[in-house]
């Protein structure tokens, strides 16, 4: 299926690296103009912007810590000024602060919840105001298979990602009548900088749980995101779609 997102404007949070970067590039390849959000990785975000522009697309970068509603508001002001609207939101920004519960500092809990779950709320709230006026829009939340399976040493991450799934479904129930769609994508073990430490220390053990017998690539997730953003997915709403090589059933 050839997907054409020409004329659409997309925002990808955490768009400078890993899954976010792949989503930015894939959305741009399909014709969308892309707002690339970053928190600290300015150079990486600018590289994504340059790559999109080199291919003939349009992109702008926006610095914002999505855990801060004030910073998100400022980012959306910039997006509305530059693009005039927003059609697609990919809530991808996330962090990991893995450790056992009894060793976990409250700041580590709050950081993960703040970026992954609160960040999705902040950006979705702002995006929905635009999309509801347009009576059209797609919100795609990047959760994780850990939101289904959980795992030791990841109570904060598991709680955040499970929360994203429920948040997605509640938004779909609440706002679908206004032309908006909300879906969650649940990656498994994807080869990114964020997962490098886990893969390095438990690669064989993790691979045993993956029926497809390979780790995923960021592009595997990005392809699903682009499809969900398209008219071809117009009857898919409130879903949590795993992209994990079967890890959750392995």
Residue 236: phi and psi, rounded to 5, are -110, 120
Active site residue 38: no
For the chain, percent helix, then strand, then coil, each to nearest 5? 50, 15, 30
Residue 54 to residue 48: CA distance in whole angstroms: 10
- Both tokens of 138, joined, read 């797609």
Q: Among 73, 244, 240, 221, which residue's Cα sits nearest to residue 163?
A: 240
Burial class (CB within 10 angstroms; exposed 0-12, middle 13-18, buried 19+) of 231: exposed
102 Cβ contact partners less than 8 Å away, ≥ 6 residues apart: none
What SS3 state is found at 185?
A: strand
Residue 24 to residue 203: CA distance in whole angstroms: 28
Would you please indicate which residues are annotated as catalytic (active-site) residues? Answer: 157
């Amino acid at each position: 299926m050839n997907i054409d997102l020409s004329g659409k404007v997309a925002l990808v949070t955490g768009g400078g690296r890993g899954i976010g970067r792949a989503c930015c590039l894939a959305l741009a390849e399909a014709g969308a103009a892309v707002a690339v959000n970053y928190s600290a990785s300015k150079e990486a975000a600018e590289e994504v912007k340059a790559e999109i522009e080199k291919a003939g697309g349009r992109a702008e970068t926006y610095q914002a810590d999505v855990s801060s509603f004030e910073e998100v508001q400022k980012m959306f002001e910039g997006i509305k000024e530059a693009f005039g609207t927003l059609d697609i939101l990919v809530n991808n920004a996330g962090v990991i602060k893995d450790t056992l519960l009894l060793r976990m500092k409250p700041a580590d809990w709050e950081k993960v919840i703040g970026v992954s779950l609160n960040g999705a709320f902040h950006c979705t709230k702002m995006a929905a105001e635009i999309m509801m006026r347009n009576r059209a829009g797609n919100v795609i939340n990047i959760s994780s298979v850990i939101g289904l399976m959980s795992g030791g040493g990841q109570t904060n991450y598991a709680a955040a990602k499970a929360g994203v799934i429920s948040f997605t479904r509640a938004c779909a129930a609440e706002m679908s009548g206004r032309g908006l769609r909300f879906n969650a994508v649940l990656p498994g073990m994807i080869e990114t900088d964020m997962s490098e430490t886990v893969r390095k220390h438990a690669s064989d053990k993790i691979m045993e749980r993956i029926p497809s017998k390979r780790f995923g690539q960021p592009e595997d997730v990005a392809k699903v995101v682009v499809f969900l953003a398209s008219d071809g997915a117009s009857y898919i709403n409130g879903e949590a779609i795993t992209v994990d090589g079967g890890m959750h059933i392995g």
